[in-house]
Amino acid sequence: MKDEIKNILCIEDEPEMIELVRLILSRHGFNVDGAYGGKEGLEMVKKSPPDLILLDLMMPDVDGWEVYQQIKADEKTKDLPIIIVTAKAQNIDKVLGLHVAKVDDYISKPFSPQDLLESVQKVLGLPTS
C-alpha cells in the first residue's frame, strides 16, 4: 500500500519562498499549498487542516506568533504540527519558539533544501532520506 500524500501548508508573505518550498518538498511526494499571509493562512487551516504547517513569523497582516496562538487555541487545530521558518534567527527567538511556544521545529532562512526536508520528515514521523 502506498503511503498517503501529506498536505503541507506554507504560510508566508513572499510568493517566491512558497514556490521554493513547494519545489523542494513536491519532489519528495508532498503536496504543498501556499497561503499569502497570516489571515489567509488561518482561513485555509480552518477550512481544510493540513498535516503540517510551515509558518513565517514576520508577515505584514497577522504576524506568525499570532497565527500560531490562534491555531493552538482552536480545539480542531491545536494538535497540528508547526515548523517556524523565519529570517528571525537570533538564539532568543529559537529558544522562545522551541521551549516557550513549543513549536515542533524552527528553521532559519536561508535554509538548505536538505534541512527543510529533514525537518518536515522528522516532525511528520517519516523516515529521513
Task: Write the pLDDT tens digit of every residue in 15-67.
Answer: 999 999 999 999 999 999 999 999 999 999 999 999 999 999 889 899 888 99
Could you tell me the residue range of the domain that residue 103 belongs to?
A: 7-120
71 CB contacts (<8 Å, ≥6 apart)?
Answer: 42, 45, 53, 77, 78, 80, 82
Are the beta carbons of 11 and 55 closer than 8 angstroms? Answer: yes
Q: Is residue 126 part of a domain?
A: no
The domain total for the chain is 1
Q: Is residue 29 part of a domain?
A: yes
Q: Is residue 128 part of a domain?
A: no
Q: Is residue 67 part of a domain?
A: yes
Are the beta carbons of 8 and 51 closer than 8 angstroms? Answer: yes
Confidence of residue 102 (pLDDT cuts 50, 70, 90): confident
Q: Is residue 94 part of a domain?
A: yes
Q: Is residue 18 part of a domain?
A: yes
Claim: this prediction has a pTM higher than 0.85: yes
CATH number at residue 49: 3.40.50.2300
